[in-house]
Amino acid sequence: MCGIAGICNLSGPGRISMDSINRMVSVQKHRGPDESGIYIDDHIALGQARLSIIDLSSGAQPIHNEDKTLWIIYNGEVFNYPELRDSLIKNGHRFYTTSDTEVILHLFEDKGPACLNELNGQFAFAVWNATTKELFLARDRIGIRPLHYTVQNNKFIFASEIKSILTFPEINRRIDPIAMDQIFTFWTTLKGRTAFEDINELPPGCFAKISGGKVSIRKYWDIPFCSPDEQTDSGIDDIVQDMSDLLHDAIRIRLRADVPVGCYLSGGLDSSGLTAKVVRDFNSDVKSFGIRFEEDAFDEGDHQNLMVSHLNVDHKEITATNRRIGEAFPDVIRHCEKPILRTAPAPLFLLSKLVNESGLKVVLTGEGADEFFGGYNIFRETKVRRFWARRPNSTSRPELLGRLYPYIFNNPRLKRTLQSFFAKGLDQTDNLFFSHMIRWANTSKIKNFFSADLKNQIGSYSGRDELGGMLPAGFGKWNYFSRAQYLEASLFLSNYLLSSQGDRMAMAHSLEIRLPYLDPRIMEYMAKVPAKWKILGLNEKFLLKKVFRKILPPEIVNRSKHPYRAPISQSLLGSGNSYIDEMLSEKTLAQTGLFDTSKVKTLVNKLRKSSNPGEIDGMALTGILSTQLVCDNYINRPPAPLPGTFEVDLLVDRRS
Categorize the per-residue pLDDT at 123 as very low, low, confident or very high, splitting at 50, 70 and 90: very high
When pLDDT is cut at 50, 70 and 90, the band that residue 645 belongs to is: low
Opening angle at CA 33, ends 337 and 577, nearest 5: 40
How far is it, in rounded angstroms, from Cα 447 to Cα 183?
Answer: 10
pLDDT at residue 641, as a whole number: 64
Confidence band of 404 (pLDDT split at 50, 70, 90): confident
Estimate the share of the chain in helix, then strand, then coil, as percent rounded to the nearest 5. 45, 15, 40
Residue 639 scores a pLDDT above 70 = no
At 407 the pLDDT is: 65
The number of beta carbons lying within 10 Å of the beta carbon of residue 570 is: 21
For the question of whether the overall pTM of this predicted structure is more than 0.85, the answer is: yes
Stretch(es) of the chain classified as CATH 3.40.50.620: 222-450+461-563
Cβ count near 616 (within 10 Å): 14
* Mean pLDDT, rounded, of the chain: 94
For the chain, give every residue range classified as CATH 3.60.20.10: 2-174+196-221
Of the given ranges (286-295, 442-451, 495-504, 562-571), which has the lowest mean pLDDT?
Answer: 562-571
DSSP annotation string for 511-529: -EEE-GGG-HHHHHHHTTS
pLDDT of residue 409: 65
| Beta strand extents in 419-576 (DSSP E only) | 512-514
Name the band, by pLDDT with cuts 50, 70 and 90, for residue 424.
Answer: confident
| CA 102/CA 422 separation, integer angstroms | 53
The percentage of residues in the chain with a pLDDT greater than 70, rounded to a whole number, is 96
pLDDT number for residue 628: 98
**Beta bridge partners of residue 155, listed in sequence order:** 9, 152
User: What's the pLDDT tens digit per position in 147-180?
Assistant: 999 999 999 999 999 999 999 988 989 999 999 9
What integer pLDDT is reported at residue 134 of this predicted model?
98
Are the CB atoms for 123 and 191 separated by under 8 Å?
A: no
- In this model, does residue 30 exceed pLDDT 90? yes
**Which tops the pLDDT comparison, 387 or 348?**
348
Query: Distances from the Cα of 102 to the Cαs of 53, 518, 585, 654, in angstroms?
Result: 14, 23, 52, 20
Is the omega angle on the peptide bond into residue 62 within 30 degrees of 0, that is, cis?
yes
Partners of 36 in beta bridges:
49
| Best mean pLDDT range from 57-61, 97-101, 353-357, 570-574 | 353-357
Question: What average pLDDT score do residues 396-418 get?
Answer: 72
* Strand pairing report for 287-293 and 214-219: unpaired
pLDDT band for 138, please (50, 70, 90 cuts). Answer: very high
Q: What is the pLDDT of residues 356-403, one digit of tens each?
A: 999 999 999 999 999 999 999 999 999 999 988 888 877 677 777 777
CATH code: domain 222-450+461-563 is 3.40.50.620
- The residues, ordered by sequence, that sit 6+ positions from 528 with a Cβ below 8 Å of its Cβ are 224, 225, 226, 230, 231, 232
Band (pLDDT 50/70/90 cuts) for residue 654 is very high
How many Cβ atoms are within 10 Å of 87's Cβ, its own excluded? 15
Residue 249 and residue 186: Cα distance in Å, rounded?
Answer: 34
446-479 pLDDT per residue, tens: 999 999 999 999 999 999 999 999 999 999 999 9
What is the CATH number assigned to the segment(s) 2-174+196-221?
3.60.20.10
- Look at residue 1 in the predicted model and tell me its pLDDT: 64
Q: According to the model, what pLDDT value does residue 439 have?
A: 94
Q: pLDDT at position 420, please?
A: 77
Name the β-bridge partners of 244.
none
Distance CA 177, CA 454 (A): 7
Rounded (10°) CA dihedral 464, 468, 471, 474:
140
More confident site: 150 or 638: 150
**Given a cut of 80, is residue 638 above it in pLDDT?**
no
What is the Cα 281 distance to its own chain's centre?
28
pLDDT band at 216 (very low <50, low <70, confident <90, very high): very high
Which of 651, 379, 410, 656 has the alpha carbon at shortest distance from 536? Answer: 379
When pLDDT is cut at 50, 70 and 90, the band that residue 239 belongs to is: very high
